[in-house]
Amino acid sequence: MSVFSQSFSPCGRFLAAGNNYGEIAVFSLSSALSPDATDLSQTPILTFTAHEGPVFSLFSTDSHLLSAGNGEISAWSWAELIKRVRPSSLEIPEINAMTVNPTENSLVIGGGDNNIHIMDLESGVFKSVLQGHTDYIHCLSVREREGEILSGGEDGAVRIWDHRTGQSVHCIEVYKYEECARPQYGKWISCLTTESDWMLCGGGPSLSLWHLRSMSPTSIFPLSGCQRQANFYQDMILSVGEGQCVSHCLLGGEVKAQIPCTPHSLNTLALNLNSTDNRVRVLTVGGSSHQIDVFTNLSYRTFSLSF
Amino acid sequence: MGAVTDDEVIRKRLLIDGDGAGDDRRINVLLKSFTKWCNSTGSPEEGFTQYQRMLGTLAQCEFSMGKTLLVYDMNLREMENYEKIYTDIEQNITSAHDKISECKKEIQRAKRIRKNRQEYDALAKVIQQHPDRHETLKQLEALDKELQQLSHIKENVEDKLELRKKQFHVLLSTIQELQQTLESNVTSEAPPHHNTSSSMLYGGKYTCGDHPPV
C-alpha cells in the first residue's frame, strides 16, 4: 500500500490520508498524541472508499476536504465525513495536484491531460483552462501576492501563469541549467513550492532553490534520489523523496540533517500548522508503506499511525 | 454539635497523650494526691513530704507545659518560613515561565533573521557570478571612446575621399574640354575663327563645374 496524499483538518486535530486503493482514512491526532494513547488510537477512526483509483491529492479548505481521484473531485464536509457533498467530474485521466487560490476562491487542478483547470469553489463551475505544458502536470503552487500559479510537470518545465489572463508568464526549463540537471534521472519536476520570492523545485533534476525575481537558481541541494515533496518551514527546508529519510536543509544549500523513517520511499509530507494547540503541531510523512510516521519534535520519529 | 466536639476532644487527647506515661496521668496523680493530702490523717512530716512531692509534680507539669508552648511557637515560625519559601518558589516558577516564552520569541526572531541572512547569501552568490559593475562601466567607456575615434577616422577618410573625387572630376572634365577644344581647333584650322575658338575656350572653361582651373 502506498500513501499518496495527506491533509490536516481546519481545526488541526484530524489527519486525512489517501492511498492507492482509493481509500481515505481519518486519524484523530489529539487522541494519538494524548498521554494515555493506546495502540488503538494509532489506527484510523474512519476509513472510507472515496474513489475507484488512487487518491493522488487531498486538500483542506475551511470546511471541506477535497479529494481527487481519476478524473473526479469530491468534496467531503469535515463535519460529517461520510456525506459526499458535491462531486464534479472532468474528462482527464488523473488529477495529480490540487491547490486553492484564496484570493479568488478557486480551485486549481493539474493532471494527466497536460492542462491546468481552474474551478470556482462556490459554484463548482470550471472557469478557465491553462494550456502550455507538453506533458502531464505533477505539482502546483500558488503565489497569492502576485496572483500567479506555478506548475511543474513531466516535461521538465516550470511554468508561471497569471491567473487573470490565463497566459504563461514565464517558463523555466530546469533541466537546461547545468548545475541542477541530472540526466540520469530525467527531466521531470515532481515537487514545487513557493514562498514570497523563492521557489523550490526538484524531481529528476536536483532539488534547487530559485529566486523568482531574477529567475536564477541560487542553491542546489546535494540530495541523492528524486524529491517528491518539499516545504519551507521557519528557516529550514524539509524535503522527502526516494530515500528512507526526511531531509532538513538550510537555505544556503547544505543538508543539515537526515531523519530516518519507516517507509522506504516517501511520497508526501504535511505540517500541521492549523491549530494553536502546541500538542498537535506535528509533521507527518507517508509513502510506500501502510504506516504514516508522526514527528512531534522535528529531530526524531515519535510514532507511526497505521492505515 | 456536642458529639462533634467530644470526638475532637477525644482525638486531641489521644494525640497529645501519645507517649503513654504523659502529662495527663501526672495531672490525675497530682489531683488524687492533693485530695489524699487534704484528707490525710498522718503526721505533719508525712504531710510535709507529700506537699513537697506535690510541688515537685506541679513543677514538672509546668515544665512540660512550657516546653510544649515553645514547641508550638517554633512550629508557627517554621510554618511562616515555609510559606515564605513557597511564595518565593512560586514567583521563581512564574518568572521562569516568562523567561521561557521570551526565549521562544527570541528563537523565532533569530530563525527569521537566519533565514533572511541565508536568502541574502544565496542571492549574493548569484550576484558574484556576474562581473563587477564598475569594470563593466569602464569597459563600456573604453569601447565608447574607441567607437568615437573610429568614427572620427571614418569621417576624415570620407572627407578625403570626397575631395579626391572632386579633384579627379575637375581633372577629367578639364581634359575633356581640352580634347574638345583641340578637336575644334583641328576642325576650325581652315577658317581661322580665333575669336569664336577663344571665346569657346573661355566659355568652355567656365561652364564645366564651378571650380576654377587648378
For the stretch A234-250, pLDDT in tens is 888 999 988 888 999 98
Interface test mutation site (partner B, options A179, A216, A249, max chain B beta carbons within 10 A): A216
Between A124 and A222, whose confidence is greater? A222
Query: Would you state the pLDDT for residue B173?
Result: 96
What's the rounded Cα separation, in Å, for the pair B130 and B122?
Answer: 14
Instruction: Note the pTM of the prediction, 2 decimals.
Output: 0.68
Q: Which residue of B has its CA nearest to A219?
A: B122
On whether the CB atoms of residues A14 and A32 are closer than 8 A, the answer is no
Q: Which residue of A has its CA nearest to B114?
A: A235
Give CA A66 to chain center in angstroms.
13
Instruction: For chain B, positions 71-130, list CB contacts with chain A under 8 A.
Output: 108, 111-112, 114-115, 118-119, 121-123, 125-126
Helix axes B44-129, B23-38, angle to 10 degrees: 160
pLDDT category, A55, cuts 50, 70, 90?
Answer: confident
Interface test mutation site (partner A, options B118, B120, B130, max chain A beta carbons within 10 A): B118
Q: Is the ipTM of this complex over 0.85?
A: no
What's the rounded Cα separation, in Å, for the pair A243 and A255?
Answer: 14
Q: Where are the alpha helices (DSSP H) in chain A?
A: 29-33
Residue B85 carries which DSSP code? H
Query: Would you state the pLDDT for residue B3?
Result: 64
Q: Establish, for the pair of chains A and B, how many residue pairs have beta carbons separated by less than 8 Å.
A: 34
Burial of A202 (0-12, 13-18, 19+ CB in 10 A): buried
pLDDT more than 70, % of chain A: 96
Regions of chain B short of the pLDDT cut 70: 1-4, 16-21, 190-214
Q: Please determine, for residue A88, whether its predicted confidence score (pLDDT) is greater than 70.
A: no
Query: Would you state the pLDDT for residue A127?
Result: 84
Residues of B with Cβ-Cβ distance to A250 under 8 angstroms: 118
H or E, element range at B169 = helix B133-187
Residue A84 carries which DSSP code? B
